[in-house]
Chains A and B, each alone.
Chain A
Amino acid sequence: MGEYLVEAKNLCKYFQVDRHHTLKAVDGVNIAIRKGETLGLVGESGCGKTTCGRTLLRLYEATSGEILFDGKDISKLHGKELMQFKHRAQMVFQDPYSSLDPRMTIGEIIAEGMDVHVKLSGKERQQRIAELLAAVGLTEQFASRFAHELSGGQRQRVGIARALAVDPDFIVCDEPISALDVSIQAQIVNLLIRLQRERGLTYLFISHDLSMVKHISDRVGVMYLGSMVEMASSKEIFSHPKHPYTQALMAAIPEVDFDGEGKKTIERLQGEVPSPINPPAGCRFAARCKYATDICRQEMPKLVELEPDHFVACHHCDVCGK
């Protein structure tokens, strides 16, 4: 097992809505990502996965908790060291339409980060832009175009090239494919996998599309209402989900593989995700969980290693894990 590149311990991010209401977007999450691996983060909308990704990159200041990047606490970084961190950790955004400045050419967008971190001559700069475009499967002629002339998939490639421009080690991919069409999704996922192989990148892949997450990730973490409920290798979590929420999620995926008999009838998860503003004490999932007992409503379960490298946060793993 390789060493950890990114480690978050007991990470919390609260937003103050008004004097009496706190939105606990991320509440006591532990994440550890090894060098060169992909950690998938899944969960329904509002579960805090995007906030989690942004906090890890210091786009938001964490309310409490510690974030270690390559062994250094990033909340204490200043000046040069902070620039060094920004140089090594990047992000690919969800919306290919709002993530590119409509008034800049593609070349300018890609060069933006480069200009901050390295000094290049005009010619070298041009060459580097062409290299980056080629790396994401676009031709040099795109450099002089504007974002609105590109299709969604092409824009997302530019977003990836912009992140790659500063030669990062770690990239947070925040729903990079959810705004794209199916056939284009496959292009982007293939590209991400190829780049990882070529450059030894480490990804945090945030998505609500379970089958894509399973496909691209080595390990998967499942979030529910600001806390991590289960984390295991992607194979393990999809074949033997232990937490009742993970099980419900898996059951809800409409499977494409057509087995001939058509429509499945599976027990559906009832109810909806409660509001993360002032959430109840105890297990966040208790209100929708069929295994819930009194202890679930009073005490928040801790994430424990049930099997090697399989972490679950549930009071009743012995019953529902079967």
Chain B
Amino acid sequence: MENKEKILEVENLCVSFHTYAGEVKAVRNVNFHVNRGETLAFVGESGCGKTATSKAIMRLWNPPFVEIKDCSSMKYNGEEIMDMDKKRLQALRGNEISMIFQDPMTSLNPTMTVGKQIMEGLMLHRHLNKEEARKEALNMLRMVKIPDPEKNLDAYPHQLSGGMRQRVMIAIALACEPSILIADEPTTALDVTIQAQILDLLSNLKKEMNTAIILVTHDLGVIANFADRVQVMYAGQIVERGTTQEIFTEAKHPYTWALLSSVPALAKENKQELYALKGTPPDLLLPLNHCPFAARCEYCMQICKEQNPMETELTGTHKVSCWLQHPDAPKVESFYDRRKK
């Protein structure tokens, strides 16, 4: 597992939004990598920078309102994405890295048939002619298990249900067999039973095509069942990362504890007090030179309000940014562990 090929390496990624009120630093010095064929999940609350990060990978942000800072480095297969020109980026997007969004209705063109939209990418990137592309599109629809694919190839998006549209989106995204698929809240707009279907489909396709998936979500349940590695984001920073197993059983950051214990487990007694964080995440307009979670953290120490903690490596995969890991810090038993007993 250790020596897997790194397909994407992101270093020191900084993304800022320029608003009338000032510069909002949405992503702050984020480092991570993605291995071939694995599922990496970003989890966090709205505004924590998970979508900003994933869009930055495809360079989908446009200056001047959004700026990817020059200090950032993103290497796809060793090639620097920040240095790519327009033409190379075009080839990268859709062909090597592709993306599916939360709302399949707004990301599909309502005036084009589903088939045409799938064929578009195939003709552009794989240089197929019309007939080959149509055949391939039909295969794609079959692969994402759309019933009656011959008929639905000529359907317009509004004729399909939400789950079907998301399947079409997946078909479009996977048409050119990309090596990375970024899925930004792919199931949030869907019902539970449909969500389960889509997740099953994604994990089967992942195995078949050996595609790496970057999954952006706020739903811990989805992650537990679907991801290999998890990165927990808070206020534009990665506060904890590890394998799914490590995050769910040996979490070390108080924010991760809070996230895990604010979801009621089905096996628990009803109407007990859920663990609830106080307050709201910090305003990202602020510079935040200390731990961003300090104001809401039950274990906050004086040092947390003064300096940002370094990332501590616990195992080869499990890393956490928290002052509690400092040798001088008191040993605490988390409320999450207490709860489990």
Contacts and interface: CB of A to CB of B under 8 A. Distances in A.
The reply to whether A and B meet directly (CB within 8 Å) is yes
Nearest to A269: B193
Given A208-B191, A214-B266, A183 B259 contact: yes
Contacts of B275: 186
B192 A210 contact: yes
Contact of B193 (A153, A238, A263, A268): A268
B292 interface: no
A59 interface: no
B270 A216 contact: yes
Nearest to B189: A45
A190 B192 contact: no
A255 B200 contact: no
Contacts of B200: 268
Of B222, B259, B278, B280, most A-chain CB atoms within 10 Å: B280
A256 B263 contact: yes
A124 interface: no
Contacts of A184: 45, 276-277, 280
B265 interface: yes
B113 to A, nearest CB: 20
Interface residues of B, number: 47
A211 interface: yes
A18 to B, nearest CB: 18
Contact of A185 (B164, B245, B262): B262
A3 to B, nearest CB: 21
Contact of B280 (A154, A263, A273): A154
A256 B192 contact: no
Contact of B259 (A154, A182, A273): A182
B197 A182 contact: no
Nearest to B164: A272
Interface in A200-249: 208, 210-212, 214-218, 234-235, 238, 248-249
Given A211-B265, A258-B248, A235 B164 contact: no
B161 interface: yes
A234 B270 contact: yes
A272 B264 contact: no
Interface in B217-238: 218-222, 224-226
A258 B274 contact: no
A30 interface: no
A214 B220 contact: no
B258 interface: yes
Contacts of A272: 161, 163-164, 194
B245 A208 contact: no
A133 B95 CA distance: 53
Contacts of A253: 192, 221, 266
17 contacts: A45-B191, A182-B220, A182-B259, A214-B266, A214-B270, A248-B193, A254-B224, A255-B221, A256-B265, A257-B267, A258-B248, A258-B249, A260-B245, A262-B225, A263-B225, A269-B197, A273-B191
Given A183-B276, A253-B192, A256-B265, 10 more contacts: A182-B263, A186-B277, A212-B264, A215-B268, A252-B192, A254-B226, A255-B221, A256-B224, A256-B263, A268-B196
